[in-house]
Amino acid sequence: MNRERKIQKKEITLKGIPTSPGIAIGKTLLFGRKMLIPDQKNIEIDQVEAELERIGTALERTQRNIEKTRDKATKELGEIVGRIFESHLLILEDEILLDEARAKIRSKLVSADFAYYSVMKKTYDSLLAQKKDYFRERADDIRDVGMRILMNLSGETDKYEFQTDEPVIVVARIITPSEIVHINRELLLGVVTDLGGETSHTAILTRALEVPAVVGLKKISLLAQSTEISVVNGNSGKVILNPTPHHQEIYRQKQKRYLQFYTQLADLNGLPAETTDGHRVKLMANIELPVEVETAQNHSAEGIGLFRTEYLYLVNNQFPSEEEQFIEYKRLAEKMAPNPVTIRTFDLGGDKAPAGLEIGREANPFMGLRAIRISLARPELFKTQIRAILRASAFGNIRLMFPLVTGMDELRKIKRVFREVKNGLIDEGVAFKPDIQIGIMIEVPSAVIMAPELAKEVDFFSIGTNDLIQFTLAADRGNEMVAHLFQDLHPAILRMVKMTVNAGHNQGIEVGMCGEMAGDPLATVILLGLGLDQMSVSPLALPEVRKIVRSISFTEAEKFAEFMLTKKTYKESIREAEKMMKEKFADLPIWFTTQNNESLTKDI
């Protein structure tokens, strides 16, 4: 008797960009509608007006469709997410695209759908070919809007149907914001795409939905097959297709521990981040969207340590007005009151290159015109943002923070602009918090060296380790060839943190950290012992950081930090940190598994 044997297909492991945390295990669903490619259809001269009218009618229908999607997104996910579709309406109104399509109809005597497709495809391909992620990601929006117009031109129904009746992990070459919004959230386990980056609208949406997501996997849509099992680790960026039964079990256990651990830590909600001998640190949240405030509050954040305001720009593809910014900052301050909200001015440039600023091509944009340098180069934009933040400060406990400050000259220029804006509001009789605190991010080596002088000029420091590490160690964390050199526990980084803390405390100001290192469990005890007053982390990392702080004495943490400052190599540092965690925190199953003794977030 012949029996059919189930043969394990080859397991494939890919590494992409994690954009939304969590672990998902389940059946795969290949998703995404193909771009409509109309045939070239020639028309007669007397049909031109009719084809032009067809475009007008399709635009009106598409506008109504986008407005419905916008309203759905706003209702379910908040106004900031809804504004993604405001940017789609702006694309719809782009006269350059429309005029070129109309001209093509008149000059080439082709149908409206072929004319619009040709123009839209040219723009899409041009954006996709750009080196900067920002422009490639905006190509997604062009494609989204273009598909809707082409459907309306062809007479097809502009609907987004999710063909499944069971929970799935969606795999696609690209998935548009409109598609994400219309997927049944109860059936969406995770999202995986070939294309995309951290600042894409799809990434924003998956974070808002709290769905594990990994993007930038290049060819996963060609390798995956519907109904097969996949694993998505939105913490590490690893995706496994056809995992072996052994790996499936490991990940199910990881997922189980992940969920159990957070359930257990719920008992700590509302309790302060206080060591066993009574030393307190402030535990804050980093957020990118106001919708994340609820998650931060659910995990008992003591405030917002970093609100990344550049997303106000990225969802609109243009700089928001003073009033638009004021409304968002005010709402955020009111939601968190009386807890503090630290608003960072725009950190655009680098991987978030803004259109319309005419920066020009830069060989190394991360070390080019970005962050505070853009603000000082465009004082009208800088003043508008400061005005909005100051006005909002009348409605809550707002603090103002400036990124990528390199030294005293820069800081004094910033303060001159700040005083000018304050004096203008006073003259106009506009209310604001007169004693609003201002601070700077310490994220370049020069700022660490100048910290004793800088500390005399500000109310607080916040260490931004993402840039500090890559600039100190000359290791671009986005470059796969040197990513292994991006080491948060490198002895030089630990010593720089200590230097910054000492400089701030000598002047009586608070020193915090809002970089990713603050959320690394291997670093928590060390940072505590180095004397940080505040740690600001992803909302989902709050419970475990709180647990670690509450499980050790400050005396022990100080002693261990002093010991770590004597280490001479990264290997020594990481070995000692892992040894300490295994000895002191064996009850934290989220970080260490009996299988590999490796972090759940760092992966197997």
Instruction: Give the orientation angle of helix 521-530 with respect to helix 491-506, to 10 degrees.
Output: 40
Distance of CA 535 to the CA centre of its chain: 18
What pLDDT does residue 599 have?
44
Domains belonging to the chain, first-starting first, are 12-31+163-243 (3.50.30.10), 45-154 (1.10.274.10), 264-570 (3.20.20.60)
Banded pLDDT at 299 (limits 50, 70, 90) = confident
- Does residue 588 register a pLDDT over 80? no
- Does residue 355 register a pLDDT over 70? no
What pLDDT does residue 262 have?
65
pLDDT average, residue stretch 156-165: 67
- Does residue 190 register a pLDDT over 90? yes
| Tens-place pLDDT, residues 47-98 | 999 999 998 999 999 999 889 888 888 887 777 677 778 778 878 877 777 8
Higher pLDDT pick, 118 / 500: 500
pLDDT average, residue stretch 248-277: 81
- Does residue 535 register a pLDDT over 80? yes
Listed residue (398, 389, 407) closest to 346, CA to CA: 389
What pLDDT does residue 261 have?
67
The H or E element containing residue 512 is strand 510-513
d(CA 237, CA 241): 13
The H or E element containing residue 87 is helix 79-92
pLDDT average, residue stretch 417-429: 97
What pLDDT does residue 587 have?
61
| Tens-place pLDDT, residues 448-488 | 999 999 999 999 999 999 899 999 999 877 666 777 788 99
- Residue pair 183/164 in contact (Cβ under 8 Å)? The answer is no
pLDDT average, residue stretch 306-328: 82
Percent of the chain whose pLDDT exceeds 70: 86
Beta-strand relationship, 280-287 and 273-274: antiparallel
d(CA 285, CA 307): 9
The H or E element containing residue 19 is strand 17-20
What pLDDT does residue 32 have?
67
What pLDDT does residue 361 have?
66
What type of residue sits at position 339?
A: N
| Tens-place pLDDT, residues 431-449 | 999 999 999 999 999 999 9
Query: Cα-flanking dihedrals φ and ψ of residue 83, to 5°?
Result: -70, -15
Banded pLDDT at 130 (limits 50, 70, 90) = low
What pLDDT does residue 3 have?
43
- Does residue 277 register a pLDDT over 90? yes
What pLDDT does residue 314 have?
66
What pLDDT does residue 350 have?
62
Banded pLDDT at 278 (limits 50, 70, 90) = very high
- Does residue 552 register a pLDDT over 80? yes
d(CA 56, CA 54): 5
| Tens-place pLDDT, residues 5-37 | 455 578 899 988 888 878 899 999 888 666 678
Residues recognised as catalytic: 201, 514
What pLDDT does residue 430 have?
96
Listed residue (10, 525, 529) closest to 224, CA to CA: 10
What pLDDT does residue 289 have?
73
Residue 364, exposed/middle/buried by CB under 10 A (0-12, 13-18, 19+)?
exposed
Q: What is the mean pLDDT of the chain?
A: 85
What pLDDT does residue 354 have?
56
How many other C-beta atoms lie within 10 A of the C-beta of residue 145?
A: 25
Banded pLDDT at 419 (limits 50, 70, 90) = very high
